[in-house]
Amino acid sequence: MIYLDNAATTRTLPEVVEAMLPYFSEYYGNAGSIYGLGSRSKKALIMARETIAGTIGAQANEIYFTAGGTESDNWALKAAYESCQNKGRHIITTKIEHHAILHTCKYLEECGARITYLDVDKDGMIDLEQLKKAIRPDTILISVMYANNEIGTIEPIEKIGEIADEHGILFHTDAVQAYGHLPIAVEKMHIDLLSASGHKFNGPKGVGFLYVNRKTKLSPFVHGGRQERGRRAGTENVPGIVGIAAAAERASLCMEERTTTECRMRDYLIDRIETEIPEARLTGHRTMRLPGHVSFCFEGIQGESALIMLDMQGICASSGSACTTGDPGPSHVLLAAGVPEEIARGSIRLTLSAENTMEELDMAVEALSGIVEKLRGI
């Protein structure tokens, strides 16, 4: 098997699994208990919170553990809207956000929110001047993803944060694809809220976190007990939290070396595809893109058909977000970037990791080239 779908999920590393295992069967106490077994779990939560905070330049009490990126996005938007209604009801986001943001915005519109959806250019980049013009006296939140999951484009997050800060507006970024792969400094970037998910950087599924700036007052997301300082009730997923912290620490320590390797392989893969497959259209920004992210539209084919044929040859890839698999329509991200609908249907996303080899990439290009030619012949 050649795995080229790391934007959908990554392999949980052996050292991460090893760190988690004792908290399933040996240190299984409830972190809310006062006896020693529970205290061991509570200590693990404290250490994990400190580890995560250290990777983004935050304080430990600014990290809240969740069930993943979707929950973190929902919490950030819904709580910000609920907490800031005395100031206004206007939220600014983009047309290419993950559905965890877009569908939450639609829900908030039903609750009375006013949403502005920013356009993007052909590379998926927002226009900062359009952002400035969209700000109103009643704007309470700007939410722009750090890097796009479908086309890999990295947005100018620090500049967006500066604009939000100048106007006294909360700034949230969906960093699910970026965290663990790109440097993040929440204070320098003026980020008030940040979402991340463990399984995107070799951690376990079902666990993520939301960074909340200590000056930001958000209402609780899940009511019940006092877990997560009363903002997110429910018995803590201690093994998962230990796992996400172990993965985050490794990702932070190895980031520079891993990024160099992935960028080299990414550019090699892009060059081969553009050279060897006619009418291949790179999507996303050519340089301001995630290290291991390659996305193309191939004219004259259906992406889903190509994926099935790739799978038959043992190659795992995707046509976009795993959350929209089975949706017959073309990608909303590609349409927003101006890709014609008939071309957008031929999208293929190949997202690699430092564990991939050049030999695997060569095999993938050869397979893809033959599949595209065959589909076009049909």
Contact in structure between 118 and 134 (CB atoms under 8 Å): yes
Q: What percent of the chain has pLDDT over 70?
A: 98
| 316 and 367 both lie in a single domain | yes
Last residue of a domain, one of 251, 279, 311: 251
Tell me if residue 348 falls in helix, strand or coil. Answer: strand
Question: Distance between CA 113 and CA 263 in Å, rounded?
Answer: 40
Is residue 219 located within the same domain as residue 269?
A: no
| pLDDT tens track for 271-314 | 999 999 999 999 999 999 999 999 999 999 999 999 999 999 99
Q: Do 245 and 274 share a structural domain?
A: no
Summarised one tens digit per residue, pLDDT across range 69-105 is 999 999 999 999 999 999 999 999 999 999 999 999 9
Q: Which residue has the tokens 């951690």?
A: 203
Asked whether residue 149 falls in the same domain as residue 283, the answer is no
Amino acid making up residue 206: G
Has residue 324 got a pLDDT over 60?
no
Regarding whether 299 and 219 lie in a shared domain, the answer is no
pLDDT for residue 322 is more than 80: no
Give the sheet arrangement for strand 293-298, strand by strand.
280-282, 293-298, 347-351
Residues noted as catalytic: 323
Residues 119 and 224 grouped into a single domain = yes
**Per-residue pLDDT, 48:** 98
pLDDT at residue 352 is higher than 60 = yes
Tell me how far the alpha carbon of residue 187 is from its chain's centroid.
20
Co-location of 353 and 222 in the same domain: no
Is there a single domain that holds both residue 231 and residue 330?
no
CB 227 within 8 A of CB 32: yes
Q: What would the two tokens of residue 171 be? A: 């700034």
- Reported as a single tens digit per residue, the pLDDT across 235-267 is 999 999 999 999 999 999 999 999 999 999 999
pLDDT band at 321 (very low <50, low <70, confident <90, very high): low
Q: Report pLDDT digits (tens) over 153-205.
A: 999 999 999 999 999 999 999 999 999 999 999 999 999 999 999 999 999 99
CATH of the domain at 236: 3.40.640.10
- Asked if residue 278 lies in contact with residue 296, where contact means CB atoms within 8 angstroms, the answer is no
Nearest to 124 by CA among 297, 254, 313, 361: 297
Identify any residues that bridge with 2 across adjacent strands, giving them in sequence order: 315
- Model confidence at 327, pLDDT cuts 50, 70, 90, reads low
Residues 20, 244 contacting (CB under 8 angstroms): no
DSSP letter at 153 equals B
Residue that finishes a domain, picked among 219, 251, 283: 251
Q: Say yes or no: 19 and 112 in one domain.
A: yes
Q: Using alpha carbons, list the distances in angstroms from residue 163 to 11, 41, 190, 196, 310.
A: 37, 41, 9, 23, 44
Q: 99-110 and 69-83 helices cross at what angle (nearest 10)?
A: 30
Query: Count of domains in the chain?
Result: 2
Among the three residues 251, 275, 307, which one is the final residue of a domain in this structure? 251
Same domain for 120 and 47, yes or no, is yes
Which tokens go with 103?
A: 């569908």
* pLDDT for residue 329: 81
CATH of the domain at 270: 3.90.1150.10
pLDDT bucket at 320, cuts 50 / 70 / 90: confident
pLDDT digits (tens, 9 = 90+) for 283-292: 999 999 999 9
> Partners of 211 in the beta sheet?
63, 194
Residue 38's pLDDT is 93
Strands 293-298 and 208-212: unpaired
What's residue 24's pLDDT? Answer: 97
Domain residues for 145? Answer: 14-251
pLDDT category at 5 given cuts 50, 70, 90 is very high
Contact 62, 214 (CB under 8 A): yes
Which phi and psi (to 5°) does residue 165 adopt?
-65, -40
